[in-house]
């Protein structure tokens, strides 16, 4: 019985570690990304966009119309510079805009 208990504790510790790693330091919250994006893009642009993911240091943002897509694409370098250092633990290398759902 002692072995079963020690294994159960060991598995429990493993599960706790996995959960901690999934929600821990390396992950950036959706709220943090949205706040940084709104600060960089401004309220008007933020109302027509939604950050959807960060993969390989590229922030992908859905845009609700081709007009906003064009305007944000033109301002891509400026926006990237404003986002510099705003998202904890992430150094963004690029922005990717695409037409998509923003709800």
Structure tokens at 42: 């401004």
Structure tokens at 90: 């992430």
Residue 87 pLDDT: 80
pLDDT band at 17 (very low <50, low <70, confident <90, very high): low
Q: What is the dihedral of CA 17, 22, 26, 31, to 10 degrees?
A: -140
Sheet of 94-99, strands arranged across: 49-55, 58-63, 94-99
| Distance from C-alpha of 62 to C-alpha of 10, rounded to nearest angstrom | 43
Mean pLDDT score of the chain = 84
Residue 88 pLDDT: 73
Q: Where are the domains of the chain?
A: 28-99
More confident residue, 89 or 76: 76
CATH number, domain 28-99: 3.30.300.180
Q: What is the dihedral of CA 77, 83, 85, 90, to 10 degrees?
A: -90
Tens of pLDDT along 45-70?
A: 999 999 999 899 899 999 999 999 99
Residue 86 pLDDT: 82
How confident is the model over 7-27, as a mean pLDDT?
62
């Amino acid at each position: 019985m002692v072995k079963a208990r020690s294994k159960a504790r060991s598995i429990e510790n493993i599960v706790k570690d996995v959960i901690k790693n999934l929600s821990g330091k390396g992950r950036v919250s959706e709220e943090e990304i949205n706040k940084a994006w709104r600060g960089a893009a401004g309220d008007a642009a933020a109302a027509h966009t939604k950050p959807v993911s960060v993969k390989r240091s590229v922030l992908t943002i859905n845009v609700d119309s081709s007009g906003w897509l064009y305007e944000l694409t033109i301002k891509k370098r400026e926006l990237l510079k404003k986002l510099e250092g705003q998202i904890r633990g992430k150094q963004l290398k690029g922005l990717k805009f695409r037409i998509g759902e923003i709800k």
